[in-house]
Each structure stands twice: as C-alpha cells, then as structure tokens.
Structure 1
Amino acid sequence: MAPQTFPWLSGPTPTRRLDRPLLEERILHLLSSQNMCVLATMGADGPLATPVRYYPLGFAVLFTAAPRSPKMRNIAADPRVSVGIFAPLVGLASSRGAQVFGTARVLGPDDPDRERWWPAFRWENEHAERGLSLSEPPADTLVVVEAERIVYTEHWLRRDGFAPRQFWHRRPAG
C-alpha cells in the first residue's frame, strides 16, 4: 500500500463546527485573497454563470457591469444570486471555496448608497488597464451582493477534526 500524503483525509468526515469568529476569519481571508468569482443568475433563457472580477468589503462582493449585459438583465428580472469564490486547487487537501448567496443591489452613479461601497472598489487598476484618466472615478454601475448565507468549504479543516463544509448566516439586524 502506498503511503498517504494526508492520512487525515481518509476515514469518516468530521462533523464538528467552527466557532463563528473563526469561521468568519476564514471566510474573510478567502474573500480578500481572491479577485475572481463566478456569478450565477437566472433569466428567461435559464441559468447563467459568469466569471467576474470582484472586490470584497466585509461579507459583501462588489463588481461593475455593463447595464445591458445578460447578467444585468437577469439581475433585473430576479436579483437573487449565488457567487462562487475559490482558491486555486492543487489537491483535495487544498480545496477551499465559498458559495455566497444574496440579493444583488444595482447602484447607479447617482445612488446615495454608492458612497458606502465605492471606496472598496479599486477602480484605479481598471482605469490604468483601459488607458483612462486616474483623476476621476468612473460612473459605472456598481453591483453589491451582501451575503445572506455562505457555504464555506475547506478540506484542511479535517486535519483538526472539523467538518470540511461550514455554514454561515447573517445575523438579523437589531
């Protein structure tokens, strides 16, 4: 029998849950260490999964989009979305990702709530890539998905006796 690289991956899957602060720390680390996600929307033609560059702010995912794009048409019809974020995979032990579920909010250039979110969006990078002036922020449509729930997966958690799939829910305001 060949030696096992990660013996803790075999055997029964642990079911122990992380304490909320530890789970939140791991989720926030994942969100802040990646910059691409797959946005899943539903429209008249069925499901649409779109790769999108995103920026995190706490448990929210932000991105810009052309107002007439298929994903924006779908969001207008049904703003409930799922966002898949994952780290590069080397093997099962490195499997780490999150499914973020929430309602997409579309903020136009004149939306007063935009100021709350805009500082997290590093627009200078995109302007430089496109050869645009860095002296004035864009007026692009900003989409904000605040997580209502997150399914977080990290197989390395098994090493310490925790379930590889963990569940986070937003606490009610109040």
Structure 2
Amino acid sequence: MPVTNPWLAGPAPTRRLDHDRLSERILNLLSSQNMCVLATTGPDGPLATPVRYHHLDFTLMFTAAPRSPKMRNIAADPRASLGVFAPLVGQASSRGAQVFGEARLLDRGDEGFEHHWSAFRWQSDHVERSLPLDEPPAGPLVVVEATRIVYTEHWLRRDGFAPRQFWRPAT
C-alpha cells in the first residue's frame, strides 16, 4: 500500500531548531489562529476554557467577565497554560503550542495596559455584537507572557527536526 507521508514512519528525529527559527514558527502559529484553551486551577480542580485571544509577540491576551470561573481561578492562582492549535487534518498537519506563564490582570491606568491594549483587536467583537465602536470593553485585560512554550509540528520531521520543540525567552 502506498504511504502518503513516509517521513512520518519510524523514530522521530531529535534535532532542535535554533531559537530564531523556532520563535518564527511559534509566532506564525499564534498569528494564524485566534482561539485557545485556557487551563487554570481553582478550588474545584482544573478548568479548561476556550477563549478568543490576541497576541503581542509571545504574550497572549484576552478579556473575560470579572466574575467568571476562569477569573476567580486566576485571582487565586495566576499560573496558566494556554493550548493553541491549528485544525488537524492528519498526523502531517499536527501543529500546536502549549504556552505557560502567569496571568496578570491589567486595568486602564496600570503599567503596561496601553502597550498591550494597542494590540488587542476588540473592535471585531463589537461589530459582531452590534456594540458601539467608541466604547471599548470596560473589564480588565488578561495577559499571559510566555515563560515557556512546548511547540509541536510534525511537518518538521521532513527536514530532520524533532516534532516537539522547547522554547524559552531569549536571555
């Protein structure tokens, strides 16, 4: 029987991408998607919540209702993981990232709010919900700056690289 992707057979390569090339691939993924699954932990245990995100480099951002379970969990324990993934057609198309960091809530006037807010595209939500474009959302902006990313892309095997790569901010 013919094999569609023979490079997927056998043991996976172990070679690592250099930091710049890995960073570029991760940014491409973050830029080509807009949904992630946010994982937090609270008094009732783990919570995985789909959220629409925007990103500024390796920082993911979203807004949420202040009384939502995810916001209660973040207030109690700011550690967060966000799973970003491209649609899966088959093993060869497997591409995603687990982003780890601490969630911070930024309100207007807080240091860093304007910097992050400038990259947050809230206008499309307002158009979709028939809300006025001269009234931005009032709630806090949640930012998760990546301290570590586990990136998976099986297509990397074609070029002799490990399908799972590990990223940390450049020092």
Question: In which range does the TM-score fall when normalised by the shorter chain?
Answer: over 0.9
Q: Is the 8 A contact 2:85 2:97 kept in 1?
A: yes
TM-score scaled by length of structure 2: 0.97
Give the aligned partner of residue 65 of structure 1: 64
| Deviation string, structure 1 residues 15-34 (Cα, Å, up to 9, x no partner) | 00001111000000000100
Q: Is the 8 A contact 2:92 2:154 kept in 1?
A: yes
The yes-or-no answer on 1:107 pairing with 2:106 is yes
Mean Cα displacement is larger for which, 73-82 or 121-130? 121-130
TM-score scaled by length of structure 1: 0.96
Q: For 1:11, what is the secondary structure of its paired residue?
A: coil
One-letter amino acid matched to 1:9: L
1:136-147 mapped onto 2 (5 Å cutoff): 136-147=135-146
| Deviation string, structure 1 residues 135-170 (Cα, Å, up to 9, x no partner) | 232222100000000000000000000000000012
Give the aligned partner of residue 3 of structure 2: 4
Q: Is the 8 A contact 2:34 2:54 kept in 1?
A: yes
1:38-53 mapped onto 2 (5 Å cutoff): 38-53=37-52
Mean Cα displacement is larger for which, 151-160 or 105-114? 105-114
The share of aligned pairs that are identical, in percent, is: 73
1:145-164 mapped onto 2 (5 Å cutoff): 145-164=144-163
The yes-or-no answer on 1:30 pairing with 2:29 is yes
Aligned length: 171
| CA distance in structure 1 between the aligned counterparts of 2:16 and 2:23, rounded to whole angstroms | 12
Give the aligned partner of residue 117 of structure 1: 116
1:124-135 mapped onto 2 (5 Å cutoff): 124-135=123-134
| CA distance in structure 2 between the aligned counterparts of 1:44 and 1:112, rounded to whole angstroms | 30
| Deviation string, structure 1 residues 113-152 (Cα, Å, up to 9, x no partner) | 2101001111111111121111232222100000000000
Q: Is the 8 A contact 2:53 2:62 kept in 1?
A: yes
Give the aligned partner of residue 93 of structure 1: 92
One-letter amino acid matched to 2:135: E
Q: Is the 8 A contact 2:108 2:114 kept in 1?
A: no
One-letter amino acid matched to 2:34: N
RMSD over equivalenced CA pairs, Å: 0.9
| Deviation string, structure 1 residues 56-88 (Cα, Å, up to 9, x no partner) | 110010000111100000000000000000000
| CA distance in structure 2 between the aligned counterparts of 1:113 and 1:27, rounded to whole angstroms | 23
Q: For 1:8, what is the secondary structure of its paired residue?
A: helix
* Structure 2 gap segments, 5+ residues each: none
One-letter amino acid matched to 2:109: D
* Structure 1 gap segments, 5+ residues each: none
